[in-house]
Structure 1
Amino acid sequence: MPSEEILRHINELLDQNQKEKAVKFIFEMIVKSANAKQFNRAEKLREKLIEVDSMALNEIINSAEIIEAEKSKVIDLDHKKRWAALYDQLTNEEANAFYFALKKVRIMPDKKVIQQGKLNNKLFFIDQGILKIIYSKDGHELFLKNIAKGEISGRRTFFSITVATASVITTEQVKLHFLEREKYSRLVENFAGFDGKLELFCKKLVNQDIEDILKKKQIERRDHIRYEASGKVAIYMLDVKGKPAKTPFYGILENVSEGGLSFSLTGLNSETARSYLGRSVLLKMISNKTELKVVEKGITLSVYNELFNNYSISIKFLKPVPLIKIQEFIDAD
């Protein structure tokens, strides 16, 4: 934020009807801040410049160019070279904003970067070191693959709305950059098409998803067979004390098993859909054939955007439900 002294001087000039002097002073402070690599202050001052005089186009345009030029000077060249395939797709302004949205960390060996079955809101860019992907089932751990310098991790959980299929663990000291979902959302708001560029880059870089590896190794993720099903589902969100919301929302049952179910829901926006992930719910399954209603508790594992804000939501029951209890919902072959 600009200092109180700077803001005070700007306001004094404006009170004296000296807008031109105020514009000149703000521009000088932007240049000074950008040269000092105080980019947040420079950006805030530029916002103030636009607020004071939106018609000071030369100063507004030139200040933006100066800020971007100074930002470009401090980008880690090794980092930019390593991820050149991405940076080459971005405009100078997009590249600068992306770089400054990243966080750089060093992680010691045997630390979980992503945990199976948990939420993940980070996209990881591996700069140095090796990590292993481990899938756990029935108390056993299965090694799937290593990832190393120049690779990414967390793509599926970052771009989709689902929990992690497997854990990612450092095998040695690792250096990496990561992008948080919140910072990503801001980039998407500020730069039209940025989301498509980043997602396409990640898709090209990851030639085999975890699900593909599991299928190749003939490992079944689910403990129970899923059956196509019919009916409605009333969903009550549970609060931290386990108390259900007074008003449910309704979905159309898609499939069901002893371990969980999936239903479709329309009219959600992406952020609302993402907020459902990992939430505990009370489910009331309502049959189309009779007055049968089955009530169970569960937790949201995944939320897939199929098309036009139509979502498929997967729920895992907290306790397995006997097949006979849900038989009426299962479609006949």
Structure 2
Amino acid sequence: MMDVSSDERLVDKYISENRTGPAVKLLFDIIIRCSRGRDFSKAESLREKLMEVDPMALSEIIGSAEIIEEEKSGSLDKVHMNVWSGLYGKLTPEESNALFYSMKEAVYEANEYIFKKGDHNSMLYFINQGELKMVYEQKGKEILLKRLRPGDMAGQDTFFSISVCTTSLSTLSRVKMNYLENDVLARWNKEIPTLEPKLKDYSLRIESAHDLLRKKGMDRRQVERHNISGKVAVQMINASGNPVGKAFRGELSDISSSGISFYIKTSDRKNASILLGRNLDLLFAVTGNAALEKITQTGTVIGVSYHLFNDYIIHLKFAKEFDPKLIGEIKRSANAGSRPKT
């Protein structure tokens, strides 16, 4: 990084003396030098300062933005850009720069795990070089789902939703890749809101872990699920079973002998993501069936998915299998024509 501290002190001196013109001129000059030196973070922060010093210095404000974007475009990793030309071809220059400069680089040697089944992974991986394998572990055996090579993406199942990994990913050779951390989505939403939908749309064209499991006949949902409606009271609990924090309410969605899904409403994704991996104590009643009132059940949250209008669907795995008799009651209600809301 370039050392421009002495120039910044001079800018501050000009500002303290109300000499706006020299301050703007020097700031513009520092921004150009930082951009050409590829210190884009510093260039961006100085441009913010330029807009504060003189919001009407439109020539310098616009010109500095163009220079930063131009220098960013000129310094993109050519190998990465060639491998991912199909993705970048769908983005504007501004979106391309935002995507590339939000990424970090990683290198793995052969036989290293990127993530394992059951892990909380919040990263999206872009493979530039090398080969990996995605496997599903079942009854102590590893079942190969896919070999990943340059141009393949991994982690999309848990990057765009809040869920634990259902598969494991490890290297077969030395691997170079870029990755995004999930918290970048909140920044993009403010600065460049068109980027996330385009990236998500591109990722949907690539077979996800769930798609591969379904193709192999190993769908994660191996038990029959039944739509239900009704209210649920939810209490987070610790390992000892004691309450943690305040209870909250939700709306039931579906149930099986091994788990349940319900909706909660929150405007903050972080509030929803906090629930992943937590133990919950539930008290619920299924609408329209007296035999299904005041049911209690505990379990662990294994997935959180965004729905619509600040609704999130919480997927919980029961600590103990749900009473088969009660499942039978739910099936009879469904067969009798009582179709719950979803």
Normalising by the residue count of structure 2, what TM-score does the alignment of the two structures yield? 0.87
Judged with a 3 Å threshold, the aligned counterparts in structure 2 of structure 1 residues 216 and 318 are, in CA distance, closer, same or farther, namely: same
- For 1:236, the aligned partner's letter is Q
- Contact 1:127–1:150 (8 Å) recurs in 2: yes
**For residues 98 and 215 of structure 1, what CA distance do their matches in structure 2 show?**
31
What residue in structure 1 maps to residue 142 of structure 2?
A: 141
**Any idea what the Cα deviations from partners look like across 1:171-203, whole Å, max 9, x if unmatched?**
121111111111233233211311111112222
| C-alpha displacement of 1:291 | 8.3
What residue in structure 2 maps to residue 174 of structure 1?
A: 175
| C-alpha displacement of 1:256 | 2.1
Judged with a 3 Å threshold, the aligned counterparts in structure 2 of structure 1 residues 71 and 182 are, in CA distance, closer, same or farther, namely: same
Judged with a 3 Å threshold, the aligned counterparts in structure 2 of structure 1 residues 241 and 275 are, in CA distance, closer, same or farther, namely: same
**For residues 268 and 36 of structure 1, what CA distance do their matches in structure 2 show?**
40
- CA-based RMSD: 2.5
Summarize the alignment of residues 121-136 of structure 1 with structure 2, pairs less than 5 Å apart: 121-136=122-137
What residue in structure 2 maps to residue 276 of structure 1?
A: 275
Judged with a 3 Å threshold, the aligned counterparts in structure 2 of structure 1 residues 267 and 121 are, in CA distance, closer, same or farther, namely: closer
Summarize the alignment of residues 100-249 of structure 1 with structure 2, pairs less than 5 Å apart: 100-204=101-205, 206=206, 208-222=207-221, 224-238=223-237, 243-249=242-248
**Any idea what the Cα deviations from partners look like across 1:211-269, whole Å, max 9, x if unmatched?**
33323322243454333334321111235775424532212222222321111234544
Which ranges of structure 2 fall in alignment gaps of 5 or more residues?
A: 336-342
What residue in structure 2 maps to residue 65 of structure 1?
A: 66
Q: Could you say what secondary structure the match of 1:276 adopts?
A: coil
**For residues 317 and 196 of structure 2, what CA distance do their matches in structure 1 show?**
30
| C-alpha displacement of 1:55 | 0.7
- For 2:318, the aligned partner's letter is F
**For residues 241 and 57 of structure 2, what CA distance do their matches in structure 1 show?**
56
- For 1:149, the aligned partner's letter is P
- For 2:43, the aligned partner's letter is A
Judged with a 3 Å threshold, the aligned counterparts in structure 2 of structure 1 residues 27 and 292 are, in CA distance, closer, same or farther, namely: same
What residue in structure 1 maps to residue 338 of structure 2?
A: none
What residue in structure 2 maps to residue 14 of structure 1?
A: 15
- Contact 2:226–2:330 (8 Å) recurs in 1: no
- Contact 2:266–2:272 (8 Å) recurs in 1: no
- For 2:315, the aligned partner's letter is S
- For 1:177, the aligned partner's letter is N
What residue in structure 2 maps to residue 53 of structure 1?
A: 54
| C-alpha displacement of 1:161 | 2.5
- Contact 1:98–1:187 (8 Å) recurs in 2: no
What residue in structure 2 maps to residue 308 of structure 1?
A: 309
- Contact 2:279–2:300 (8 Å) recurs in 1: yes
**Any idea what the Cα deviations from partners look like across 1:3-57, whole Å, max 9, x if unmatched?**
6544432222122221111111111111122222222211111111111111111
Summarize the alignment of residues 91-102 of structure 1 with structure 2, pairs less than 5 Å apart: 91-102=92-103
Judged with a 3 Å threshold, the aligned counterparts in structure 2 of structure 1 residues 259 and 57 are, in CA distance, closer, same or farther, namely: same
Judged with a 3 Å threshold, the aligned counterparts in structure 2 of structure 1 residues 47 and 202 are, in CA distance, closer, same or farther, namely: same
**For residues 317 and 282 of structure 1, what CA distance do their matches in structure 2 show?**
10
**For residues 197 and 332 of structure 1, what CA distance do their matches in structure 2 show?**
39
Number of equivalences: 331
What residue in structure 1 maps to residue 78 of structure 2?
A: 77
**For residues 305 and 260 of structure 2, what CA distance do their matches in structure 1 show?**
14
- For 2:9, the aligned partner's letter is R
- For 2:220, the aligned partner's letter is R
User: Percent identity among equivalent residues?
Assistant: 36
Judged with a 3 Å threshold, the aligned counterparts in structure 2 of structure 1 residues 18 and 228 are, in CA distance, closer, same or farther, namely: closer
- Contact 1:234–1:250 (8 Å) recurs in 2: yes
- For 1:69, the aligned partner's letter is E
**For residues 134 and 44 of structure 1, what CA distance do their matches in structure 2 show?**
44
Q: Could you say what secondary structure the match of 1:225 adopts?
A: coil
What residue in structure 1 maps to residue 251 of structure 2?
A: 252
Judged with a 3 Å threshold, the aligned counterparts in structure 2 of structure 1 residues 127 and 39 are, in CA distance, closer, same or farther, namely: same
**For residues 213 and 33 of structure 1, what CA distance do their matches in structure 2 show?**
46
Judged with a 3 Å threshold, the aligned counterparts in structure 2 of structure 1 residues 5 and 329 are, in CA distance, closer, same or farther, namely: farther
Of stretches 233-242 and 7-16 in structure 1, the one that deviates more from structure 2 is: 233-242
| C-alpha displacement of 1:318 | 2.5
- Contact 1:257–1:323 (8 Å) recurs in 2: no
Summarize the alignment of residues 26-45 of structure 1 with structure 2, pairs less than 5 Å apart: 26-45=27-46
Judged with a 3 Å threshold, the aligned counterparts in structure 2 of structure 1 residues 239 and 28 are, in CA distance, closer, same or farther, namely: farther
Of stretches 43-52 and 225-234 in structure 1, the one that deviates more from structure 2 is: 225-234
**Any idea what the Cα deviations from partners look like across 1:132-185, whole Å, max 9, x if unmatched?**
111112323211111111111111211122222211111121111111111233
